[in-house]
Amino acid sequence: MRDEQKGWKDIPIAGVCWKPATEYHTGDWRTFKPVRDQAKCTKCLLCPMICPDTAIKWNKATEDIEFDYNFCKGCGICAHECPVDAIKMVREGA
């Protein structure tokens, strides 16, 4: 929503999406942000699978998981499901 705002003459009809959904940063809505304790994390890779927004990815280069905060909506599922309690939900701006 941060991009330029087009007028009615410049957008496709019927609400047809003229750019991919990935350009819409749903992470804007977040109240709580998941923060991982690297020391506790066993890299079990459960959280990348269960995140409903695929906002947790495996980074081959670093051989570690990483959060994409552009799309993490802060639902807290990852924190709830992490078997070793490695993720804490922290209030944004706190």
Partner 1 sequence: MKAGQQETRAMNGDEAVAYAVKQSDVDVVAAYPITPQTIIVERFSEYVADGKVKTEFVCTESEHSALSACVAASATGARTFTASASAGLALMHEILYVTSGCRAPVVMAIANRALSAPINIHCDHSDSMAERDSSWVQIYVENSQEAYDSIIQAFRIAEHPDLLLPVMVCLDAFFLSHTLENVKVLPDEAVREFVGNRQLPLITNHNGEKVPFKLDPDNPITMGPLDLFDYYFEHKRQQEEAMQKAAQIITETHNAYSQLTGRRYGNGLVDSYRLEDAEIATVCVGSTAGTTKTVVDQLRAKGVKAGLLRLRNFRPLPVRDIKEALENISAIAVMDRSNSFGGYGGPIFHELRHVLYDTSSHPYVVDYIYGLGGRDMPQNIIKGIYKDLMEIVETKSVKEYVQFAGVR
What residue type is assigned to position 75 of the chain? Answer: C
Candidates 11, 17, 35, 45; binder of ligand SF4 (CB under 6 A) is: 45
Candidates 11, 17, 35, 84; binder of ligand SF4 (CB under 6 A) is: 84
DSSP 8-state class, residue 35: E
- On whether the CB atoms of residues 83 and 44 are closer than 8 A, the answer is yes
Provide CB contacts within 8 A for 44, sequence distance 6+: 83, 84
Piece in contact with partner 1 (CB under 8 A), picked from 12-20, 40-48, 49-57, 73-81: 12-20
Q: Which residues of this chain interact with ligand SF4, rule CB under 6 A?
A: 34, 36, 41-47, 51, 53, 55-56, 65, 67, 72-78, 82, 84, 86-87
